[in-house]
Structures are given as C-alpha cells and as structure tokens.
Amino acid sequence: MTTQVALDSLDKDQMKTFQDFLMSYNKLSEICFMDCIRDFTTRKVHSDEERCSLNCMEKYLKMNQRISQRFQEFQMIANENAMAMAQKTGKM
C-alpha cells in the first residue's frame, strides 16, 4: 500500500532525477574501477584499491560540483549578452 502511494507521488521530474542518479552511479563505478583496480591475481580488493576508489568517487563529485558552478556562470554571461544584443537590435 505504501509503495502505491510513493509511486503515485513520483512525477516525471523525480523519475528523471532518479535515472540521472543511477546513470552517474554506473559511470562513477566504471571510471574508478578503470583508474584504481589493476591487480587481478587475487579476487580480494586491496586496501589501497579501496582507498583509491573511494577517493576517486569523492574527487569526481567535487569536480562535478565545480564544473557545474563554472558552467552556470558561463550560461549566465551568455544569457546577459543575448539580452543585451536583443535590446540593441530592438532599439535600432
């Protein structure tokens, strides 16, 4: 019953967010696995492999944050320029 209610309240945006989250989870695993795991003589994960993977994840998230900040700044400048151009051409 509770799942029914929860599913009903999930709208399109939330589904998209969830999908994005799953996608970035998979991508993160792939990147950090490729960068950190090199030894296949044992099936155990080394402590340095684990440390590397976890650091990789945290660093990747921090990088993402920074990129999104910078991207937003550029977007804002581009918007302002477009507005200024529109005003200029509108006056002419």
Partner 1 sequence: MAAQISPTDQAKLQMMQEMEIEMMSDLYNRMTNSCHKKCIPPKYGEADLGKGESVCIDRCVAKYLDIHERIGKKLTAMSMQDEDLMKKMAGEQK
50 vs 45: CA distance, rounded Å: 7
Which uninterrupted H or E stretch holds 17? helix 12-36
* Residue 90 vs residues 39, 52, 85, 86: alpha-carbon distances, Å: 64, 56, 8, 6
Nearer to partner 1, 7 or 47 (CB): 47
CB of 52 to partner 1, least distance (A): 4
CB of 36 to partner 1, least distance (A): 6
Stretch that binds partner 1, among 5-13, 27-35, 39-47, 83-91 (CB under 8 A): 27-35
* Residue 56 vs residues 27, 60, 80: alpha-carbon distances, Å: 12, 6, 36
> Using CB under 8 A, which residues numbered 36 to 75 contact partner 1?
36, 51-56, 58-60, 62-64, 66-68, 70-71, 74
Nearer to partner 1, 18 or 71 (CB): 71
